Chain A
Amino acid sequence: MSTPLTGKADGMESQLEIAVTAPGAKGFHIRGDVAERLLSVFSPLLLLLLWEFLVRTGLLDARFFPAPTGIVSTFWALVSSGELFNHLSASIVRLAVGFVMGATPGLMLGLIMGLSPMIRAAISPMIAATYPIPKIAILPLIMLIFGLGEMSKYVVIAIGVFFLVLINTIAGVVNIEKIYLDVGKNFGASRKNMYFTIAFPGALPLIFAGVRLAWGVALLLIVAAEFVGAKTGIGYLIWQSWQTFSVEAMYVGLVIISILGYVSSLILDELERILIPWKSLHLSA
């Protein structure tokens, strides 16, 4: 096997070497893993360094792209004055209240519509007609009705979250294998137990997918809502920085939003693992 390859060009020899060491030779893979991890840590750092360098040499316009060091010092200033915490907590409270206000009715109506074809037939057209309206487009109407206070923020988030949780819950229940409902019926499950022991857990994987989507939409809506009618919040911080031309503070707001998004997705991952053990175990197996 190896005889025809000896004496070939370098490239061929190294190919042969990989083929020989790869199976069972763990060292090769670990080195690859470490290299990948280092690369994924260092490449953003390198980009930041390059950014800093370009700003300092005047190649990048500092009015639009302030130096990372400048952003960091603004960040510390906002943290130590307590201002950043106020904005962040205001946004998180709005997100949480609005999310619960939207997800709860979305989940309940979704379960009912999922199990009852009659109710589904009656309500579906209205959902289909109102769902495509961009939620940002009705923000002015919501502010007209609920004023500039907290309630208008809760409501706009609640509406965005409601639709996504509702639609995913309906799909989750409708897609439950019919045999499970037969089992419930045959073993004497009450109406209440049909919801709690079959519809809800059976739909949970899809409900969770809806919750994920809804959270993303909630982040989008909170920023938009805080742009126009708020005196606190991350959206307000970004918008106000634009008005006062404090670009560094604007970048701080953007970074905070992205961290908020990232951390919440980690929390949702963990929550999914706890709430849907039959699914996550399956994935890890």
Chain B
Amino acid sequence: MQMPAAPTETKVSIEGLQKFFRTGHTKVIALDNVNLAIPDGQFVCIVGPSGCGKTTLLRILAGLETPSDGRITVVQGDKNKPVNSMIFQEQSVFPWMTVKDNIAYGLSMRGLDSKGKDEKVDYYVKKVGLSKFAKAYPHQLSGGMKQRVSVARAFANDPEILLMDEPFAALDEQNKILLQEELLRIWEETRKTVIFITHSIDEAIVLGDRVIVMTAHPGTIKADVKVEFARPRGVYELRAQPEFGKLAYEIWGLLRDEVLKAKREEGAE
């Protein structure tokens, strides 16, 4: 397999992004002057204290919120592909659809013919190890299996960029590691641009090519840390490397002040 050319072409650019919410007469700034350029094929993880607006940022990228100011550009390589697909936090899998119908959702909404659709869906059903459960309803699945459905649904939709909003936050530690491995394995095949929100420094380093640290409220970018482990990566082996600990220490150093600041503000309110 030929690797795509050196990832220099910018896929996503965020310029001067601002988002505020109005509650009564007070204006609450959630995001302030966020600037970010993401090359094609990069896996970017965003960490920040809770309430820093990282989920808001992702929701704006997903088209679920509108920015108050600034510009977002996603370079669209193929006009037939959807711009983005999101892997949501837990419980986003439709309980009234079977596993297969859930995974096919994006394709069905785009009106793909059933032949092309079935092929793609079957591929990802198998990929996430749910072949035996293709006709099952989500309530028959464990939490980890439901999240696999959510992952498969986004990948099957074959978007330009993938957005992930703490998709594994609700899982237990063991399941989390398994799903991180699977996510990387599936991602290696396509190397799509990914923006991954997490509150876990570990997860950010294990998955990302780059970790963006956000400040406490109002959210803006504090630091941009490169993660230069070779791919394909072993989620578990990586943790044994001394570089891993150093990076985690560095990122925590950047994040710590912000977490404390967020905590102080919480207490002040």
A residues near B (Cβ < 8 Å) are 177, 179-180, 182-190, 193, 197-198, 201-202, 204, 276-278, 281-282, 285
**Chain B 208-247: CB-based contact to A (< 8 A → 1; otherwise 0):** 0000000000000000000000000000000000000000
- What B residues does A193 contact at CB under 8 A? 109
CB-defined A-B contacts under 8 Å, sample of 5: A179-B91, A186-B62, A187-B106, A190-B109, A277-B137
Apart from A183-B94, A187-B153, A202-B96: 11 A-B pairs, beta carbons within 8 A: A180-B92, A180-B94, A182-B64, A183-B86, A186-B62, A187-B82, A188-B110, A197-B97, A278-B96, A281-B137, A285-B139
Pairwise interchain contact B109-A183, C-beta atoms closer than 8 A: no
Given A188-B110, A278-B96, verify A183-B105 contact (CB < 8 Å).
yes
A72 to B94, CA, bound (A): 52
Min CB gap A90→B, angstroms: 38
Mostly, the B contact residues are loop
Pairwise interchain contact A186-B140, C-beta atoms closer than 8 A: no
Pairwise interchain contact B137-A179, C-beta atoms closer than 8 A: no
- What A residues does B41 contact at CB under 8 A? none
Mostly, the A contact residues are helix
A179 to B137, CA, bound (A): 18
Pairwise interchain contact B139-A186, C-beta atoms closer than 8 A: no
- What A residues does B137 contact at CB under 8 A? 277-278, 281
**Chain B 56-95: CB-based contact to A (< 8 A → 1; otherwise 0):** 0000001110000000000000000010111011011011
Partner of A278, one of B82, B86, B92, B95: B95
Pairwise interchain contact B63-A177, C-beta atoms closer than 8 A: no
- What A residues does B138 contact at CB under 8 A? 278
Given A177-B91, A179-B91, A278-B139, verify A186-B84 contact (CB < 8 Å).
yes
Pairwise interchain contact A183-B82, C-beta atoms closer than 8 A: no
Pairwise interchain contact B92-A187, C-beta atoms closer than 8 A: no
A277 to B95, CA, bound (A): 10
Pairwise interchain contact A183-B96, C-beta atoms closer than 8 A: no
**Chain B 112-146: CB-based contact to A (< 8 A → 1; otherwise 0):** 00000000000000000000000001111000000
Given A182-B64, A277-B137, verify A188-B106 contact (CB < 8 Å).
yes
A202 — nearest CB in chain B belongs to which residue?
B96
Q: Tell yes or no: B42 within 8 A of A by CB.
A: no
Pairwise interchain contact A281-B110, C-beta atoms closer than 8 A: no
Given A278-B139, A281-B140, verify A186-B85 contact (CB < 8 Å).
yes
Q: Tell yes or no: B147 within 8 A of A by CB.
A: no
Pairwise interchain contact B110-A183, C-beta atoms closer than 8 A: no
Report which residue of B62, B92, B110 has the largest number of chain A beta carbons within 10 angstroms of its beta carbon: B92
Min CB gap A122→B, angstroms: 24
Pairwise interchain contact B139-A183, C-beta atoms closer than 8 A: no
- What A residues does B85 contact at CB under 8 A? 186-187
Min CB gap A176→B, angstroms: 10
